[in-house]
Chain A
Amino acid sequence: MTPGFEVLLVDDEPIVGKRLRTALERAGYRVEVCETGASALARIEEHAHDIVVTDIRIDEVDGIEILKAVKARRPETPTILITGYATVEVAREALARGAFDFLAKPFRPKDLLRVVDRAAAQIEERGGKGGPAEGP
């Protein structure tokens, strides 16, 4: 477990945001939650998060656009997609576009933690955090 990694969580379901924040924080991550695609895009501009977790279907700006924005800015940042329905096409498309992995709803906090941990491990392997952690 690598504490201090910053995770940007994008989901329009407030409960998902709250629960995943709790789960990730307990695992030692720092979590920022965005409930709209637009605010998420704005945050990506401002700040380099270590890991991005986004729902595919949010609003006018969907998860694929967020993935593209992250990849355009920082291609090495692992981006994990959450899909409402796991079909082979969605998964294939997500991975083809450079997603780190995808999760199909419904999932357990453990499932996400496992993927996020893997992403964190990959970042560490590559040579530490993408950027210094801010704050405590």
Chain B
Amino acid sequence: MTGSPGQGSSPSRGPDLRSILTSTRFAGRADDVGEVADRELEARPPFTIRMRLILALGVFFLLYLLLVIWAIGFLSRIHEKVLFLEVANLYTAEIQQARRFEKNYLLYGTNLEDAVEHARRARDLARTHGGRFESVAGPEQSRVMSDHVARYLRLLDDIARAPDRAARGAIEREIRDHGAAMVRLAIECMERERRGLDRMLYLARRVPWIFLGVLLLLMVLAFNFVARPIVGALSRFMTYAERIGRGDFTPITPARKYRDEFSKLALTLNRMMRAVDRQHRILVESHKMRAMGNLVAGVAHELNNPLNNILLTACLLREEGEALDETEREEMLEDLVSQSDRAKRIVQNLLDYARETESKLEALDLAAIIDHTLRLAGNQIRMKKVRMTLELPEDLPPVHGDRQLLGQVFLNLILNALDVLPEKGEIRIRAETGRQEGFLAVDVSDNGPGIPEHVLDRIFDPFFTTKPQGRGTGLGLAVSHGIMNKLGGDLLVRSTPGRGATFTVLLPVTTIPGTVSSPGGGPGGEEAG
């Protein structure tokens, strides 16, 4: 036994299926909306899992490339800085050397040449690496620095040629000032450069960690981006598989905005459902023919009665007509007409069952369907002398379904019950609302031998039969179960061995307003009676 419609009408399947089933496009067959669903599946713009994967990996590659480019650039900048720091070091050393010699000169009058030599070297270094100095110290500062060096050199030149002590003293003061400023600026510049290098090294240690954090975040996003559609689709396809297993062949419609690999799977499943549905219809049809074979014996017997009446009456009219009086002849003619009508009705009933009409979902009056079915099986019921008890409340709501298919379900259940019942058994048909929200429950019970528990599990399997060879196809209940699932209802069974069995047909109560259609509405139905 599969899930009850109680589960079926849960949000996973209920509203979607209902809206499709009750739409005017759907006529209970996979073919009808199948192609529409397929077109809708195909019409979406493509965004495949493969594309998502390529995109995600591409983003990662790009990010990594950026990191590498940045790292290479950064390392070369550090390298440059280290080189320049060496230069700045040298420059400071030269200036300090020049000052030392300058002091010697001022104290002892020696080493002036050396002081000039070192100051020149410092000036040359600053000239060679002028751009770099400018960028480290700023153009203003660097100009001040080179001005100081130039002035210092000129002062050193001047002091050698100083005319007197007073002039020499003035120059000496100026040399000290410029010298001190020179040293201070050089050290400042070096310090600044060292601090810059420290900052860069600090950054070089930090950035990989930050990158790792960003990467982790991106990986979560990429996982959602790639894995979510896969996981989501898989769980959706699981529910599809379940409902297909239950015999609900409503085609898969697009669930997402984009087309991907799963759309192909959905198309394939839709195709498969159409094929299975076709086979199911053939199965239903072939079973119907078998069931009709059973009915025909009854119908033949039933038909023989009016035929016999007609034949007897007609023969008598022909042979003895002269001898009969007017009223007797009138009565016989009347009998001929009424018996012909009776025969016509019997044939019509069988034809209604056999005729392959378009499957059509509509609001139906259950009582009329059961009445029609009982008329069809009436002869079998009379032959078996089985008592039929009907408990149909007056105010049954209209049900949603296909008249022919529902009739077939009830006929199958009644014929099955007749098969297992001994003579003078009882079949009870009882309808009840409110047992399950939105459904009408119809119990078909018999007081036969019941169904053993190990059989109950397999009772709706195709080709499973307990009847002797040649008596049953094993399709009746499978077909009925399939029909009920397709109509959005269900067929359930319960049984106490020795005390009979009860089959419950759960029918969705209709939500479509409008006139209720009654069975046997074809020609020769009620109007002949």
Q: Are B307 and A106 in contact (CB under 8 A)?
A: yes
Which residues from chain A contact B339 at a C-beta distance below 8 Å? 15
Which residues from chain B contact A13 at a C-beta distance below 8 Å? 305, 308-309
Q: Interface code B294-333, partner A: CB below 8 Å = 1, 0 otherwise?
A: 0001001100110111111101100110010000000010
- Chain B: interface size category: 20 to 34
Q: Are A22 and B316 in contact (CB under 8 A)?
A: yes
Most chain A beta-carbon neighbours within 10 Å: one of B297, B305, B312, B385 = B312
**CB pairs A–B below 8 angstroms (27 shown):** A13-B305, A15-B312, A15-B339, A16-B308, A16-B312, A19-B309, A19-B312, A19-B313, A19-B316, A19-B332, A20-B312, A23-B316, A26-B320, A57-B383, A84-B300, A84-B301, A85-B304, A105-B308, A106-B308, A106-B310, A106-B311, A106-B312, A107-B311, A108-B312, A108-B315, A109-B315, A109-B316
Binding site for B on A (CB under 8 A): 13, 15-16, 19-20, 22-23, 26, 57, 60, 84-85, 105-110
Known A13-B309, A26-B323, A108-B315: A60·B300 in contact at CB below 8 Å = no
Q: Which of the residues B301, B308, B312, B320 comes within 8 Å of A57, measured between beta carbons?
A: B301
Which residues from chain B contact A20 at a C-beta distance below 8 Å? 312
Q: Is the interface of B mostly helix, strand, loop or mixed?
A: helix
Q: Are B301 and A109 in contact (CB under 8 A)?
A: no
Which residues from chain A contact B312 at a C-beta distance below 8 Å? 15-16, 19-20, 23, 106-109
Binding site for A on B (CB under 8 A): 297, 300-301, 304-305, 307-313, 315-316, 319-320, 323, 332, 335, 339, 383, 385
Which residues from chain B contact A106 at a C-beta distance below 8 Å? 304, 307-308, 310-312
A109 vs B307: C-alpha distance when bound (angstroms): 13
Distance (whole angstroms) from the CB of B301 to the closest CB of chain A:
4
Q: Which of the residues A26, A57, A85 comes within 8 Å of B297, measured between beta carbons?
A: A85
Most chain A beta-carbon neighbours within 10 Å: one of B305, B320, B339 = B305
Which 7 residue pairs across A and B have the least CB separation, nearest first?
A106-B308, A84-B301, A105-B304, A19-B312, A105-B308, A15-B309, A106-B307
Which residues from chain A contact B323 at a C-beta distance below 8 Å? 26
Which residues from chain B contact A85 at a C-beta distance below 8 Å? 297, 300-301, 304
